[in-house]
Amino acid sequence: MSQASTTPAVRTAGLTKAFGAHQAVAGIDLEVPSGAVYGFLGPNGSGKTTTIRMLLGLVQPTAGSIELLGSPVPERVVDALPRVGALVEGPAFHPYLSGRDNLFRLDAADRTADPDTAKQRVDAALERVGLGPAAGKRFRAYSLGMRQRLAIAGALLTPKDLMVLDEPTNGLDPQGTREVRALIGSLADEGATVLVSSHLLSEVEQVCTHIGIMHAGRLVTQGTAADVRGVRETEARIETDQPAEAARIMRELGLTDVRVTPGGAAGRLGSVAPEKVVTACVHAGLSVTRYVVDAPLLEDIFVALTGEGFDVSG
């Protein structure tokens, strides 16, 4: 792997794709920092997959520019793509060949790979995704989850500086999902940048350092996971038989959007330490029966930004 760079692993400017009168992607400025695990989210039809296909040179943009690993695409795509591993729109392998033989064929197509070390690469990739025991089975006998794992193994045959994974946990059971999450983490630890789309918000929240959200062809927000969560502030809620007094204390502490609620009071914490609220109320003699700090969930932020339920198949 190359050392972490200040140059973004992925950068676009005004990236646009129109299909007739319909703009599937409308002038987005995507920036994926080197070394990041970037969660790329969007509701059905948001332009997410079209964007990924443009990044990989599978679809020609209508307008705008793309840089992958510092190389302009498509002008220097031959310099960038050997350093990029990708899983897009599901795996495609020969059904009559075993998982191992499919990887051998894939490896042989890589002009940069040394044929003398093919076996080591294939065996290592299979073990890394937990397919070692099933390596000899024909692909057509693989479950959906096993096929997904084999596709990830194919992307890992040689070290990559950028991995683009479109729904990498599709078809996996909970154990398989945890293994893929650990794999993404290990790739990042080794210095790779990972761009991952997923419909499993809990997985994105656990593994991603950065997040971008698409809606109706536009990138509505992107940044560090903390920055994106900051779109909605953490709220404190206290239950007491003196709600007006609790609200007054919250305002004095500096909470915003303070309001009296049935059985208590609530407000946005901002920079106020959560423990200060309940401490101040108790010191003032209030009887506190319950105190809740409600950190914003990624799903709540997603719905607030897009107005839609979470479905990233588009």
**Average pLDDT score, the chain:** 86
> 51 or 197, which is more confident?
51
Confidence class for position 212, pLDDT limits 50, 70, 90: very high
pLDDT tens-place string over residues 227-257: 777 656 688 999 999 999 999 999 999 999 9
User: Cα 301 to chain center, whole Å?
Assistant: 15
How is residue 133 annotated by DSSP? Answer: G
Determine the residue type at 23.
Q
Per CATH, domain 10-229 is 3.40.50.300:
yes
pLDDT tens-place string over residues 35-77: 999 999 887 788 988 999 999 988 999 999 999 999 998 888 8
What's the pTM?
A: 0.75
Q: What is the pLDDT of residue 297?
A: 66
Q: How far apart are CA 142 and CA 69, in angstroms?
A: 34
Q: What is the pLDDT of residue 199?
A: 67
Confidence class for position 181, pLDDT limits 50, 70, 90: confident
* Strand pairing class (63-68; 37-41): unpaired
> 27 or 110, which is more confident?
27
Which residue ranges make up each domain of the chain? 10-229, 235-295
Q: What is the pLDDT of residue 314?
A: 38
> 15 or 155, which is more confident?
15
Measured between alpha carbons, how far is residue 10 from residues 71, 133, 174, 194, 201 in Å?
Answer: 9, 36, 30, 10, 22
Q: For the domain 235-295, what is the CATH code?
A: 3.30.70
Q: Which residue has the tokens 């692909």?
A: 139
